[in-house]
């Protein structure tokens, strides 16, 4: 008790970067798993690239992309799977386990913010997975296919900014799902639902610009569009000029709204925490 009271918390300016760096190193430890992931993403990339080529051969300019852009979309998606946790993964299972076991009570006593702690952790994880699992498939795709890659370094910079936006939106959604464990004994079903929505409405399944009619309008406005469709459109230069700005703004709005919702839910949830003595 006294030890905790006397310990001086590290200033926030160094603690969150330290958490992010720790998460980066933690994921960097599993080299074989990373290599296996790169292989899997590359195999899927090849399969989907040929399917897209056949589709765009029939309908050039479908969804506003040329064939080269469509194939590039496939590889951008495969490169971002790990970083943006498009097929699940990340921190939420761990958070749920801590809620279930009661360890969350310790986390809440730490002189750090729970949401920011996990956000820092997720950014560190994403940074590693973008390098470790993103560069490989992208390079493989560029070797085997003609890709539409921008030559202007500014576009690449904006793309990376947008990928970070995608990670934050993805985090905010997964944080909300993870917190549901305070109310549900087993929220694995909810996480599963979240993953399906993520695959369906992010552009992983097909670019959202290809979705027909009203369905297309709806999915393009949902937060999942911020997780792949927006960054991909910036890299493919389907969004240029003000289009880039509105894309980034779209991501920022969803990020702020979802993080705020996470914060509100966290307040509600922590009122429910009862620490058993003994």
Partner 1 sequence: MVDALRAYTLTAGMWIRASLTYRASFAMALLGSFIGSGLDFVAIMIMYSHIDALGGYAVAEVALLYGATSLSLGITELLVGNVSRVGANVRNGTVDTLLVRPVPVFLQLAADRFALRRLGRITQGALVMGWALVALGPVRAGWSPLDWLLLVVMVLAGAGIYGALYALGGAFQFWAQDAAEVQNAFTYGGNTLLQYPPTVFAGELVRGVTLVIPLAFVNWVPAATLLGRDAPLDLPGFAAWLSPLVAAAACCVAALVWRAAVNSYRSTGS
Closest CA to 195 of 217, 170, 212: 170
Q: Which of residues 135-164 bind partner 1 (CB under 8 A)?
A: none
Nearer to partner 1, 169 or 208 (CB): 208
Among residues 22, 44, 66, 156, the one that binds partner 1 under rule CB under 8 A: 44
Residues 176, 162 contacting (CB under 8 angstroms): no
65 secondary structure, DSSP code: -
Q: Which two tokens stand for residue 222?
A: 């949902």
C-alpha 198/C-alpha 185 separation (Å) is 23
Please identify, using beta-carbon distances, which residue of 85 and 155 lies nearer to partner 1.
85
Task: Tell me the C-alpha distance between 205 and 240, whole Å.
Answer: 24
43 makes contact with partner 1 (CB under 8 A): yes
- How many angstroms separate the CA atoms of 204 and 81, rounded? 9
Which of 61, 196, 240, 273 is in the footprint of partner 1 by CB under 8 A?
196
Q: Is 55 in the site for partner 1 (CB under 8 A)?
A: yes
Q: Which of 17, 60, 102, 189 binds partner 1 (CB under 8 A)?
A: 189
Residue 222 within binding range of partner 1, rule CB under 8 A: no
Alpha-carbon distance 17 to 125, whole Å?
A: 12
Residues that bind partner 1 (CB under 8 A): 30, 32-33, 35-37, 39-40, 42-44, 46-48, 50-51, 53-55, 58-59, 62, 186, 188-189, 192-193, 195-196, 199-200, 205-206, 210-212
């Amino acid at each position: 008790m006294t030890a905790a009271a006397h310990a001086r918390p590290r200033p926030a300016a160094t603690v969150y970067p330290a958490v992010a760096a720790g998460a980066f190193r933690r994921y960097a430890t599993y080299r074989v798993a990373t290599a296996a992931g790169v292989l899997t993403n590359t195999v899927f990339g090849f399969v989907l690239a040929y399917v897209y080529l056949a589709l765009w051969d029939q309908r050039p300019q479908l969804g506003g992309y040329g064939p080269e852009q469509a194939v590039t979309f496939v590889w951008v998606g495969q490169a971002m799977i790990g970083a943006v946790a498009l097929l699940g993964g990340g921190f939420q299972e761990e958070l749920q386990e801590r809620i279930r076991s009661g360890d969350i009570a310790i986390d809440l006593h730490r002189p750090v913010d729970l949401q920011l702690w996990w956000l820092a952790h997720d950014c560190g994880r994403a940074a590693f997975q973008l390098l470790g699992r993103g560069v490989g498939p992208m390079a493989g795709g560029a070797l085997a296919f003609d890709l539409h890659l921008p030559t202007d370094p500014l576009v690449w910079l904006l793309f990376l900014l947008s990928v970070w936006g995608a990670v934050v939106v993805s985090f905010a959604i997964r944080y909300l799902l993870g917190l549901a464990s305070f109310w549900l004994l087993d929220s694995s079903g909810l996480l599963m639902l979240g993953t399906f929505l993520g695959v369906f409405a992010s552009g992983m399944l097909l670019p959202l610009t290809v979705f027909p009619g009203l369905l297309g309008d709806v999915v393009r406005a949902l937060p999942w569009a911020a997780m792949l469709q927006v960054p991909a459109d910036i890299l493919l230069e389907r969004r240029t000029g003000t289009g880039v700005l509105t894309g980034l703004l779209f991501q920022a709005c969803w990020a702020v709204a979802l993080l705020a919702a996470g914060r509100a839910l966290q307040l509600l949830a922590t009122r429910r925490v009862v620490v058993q003595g003994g």
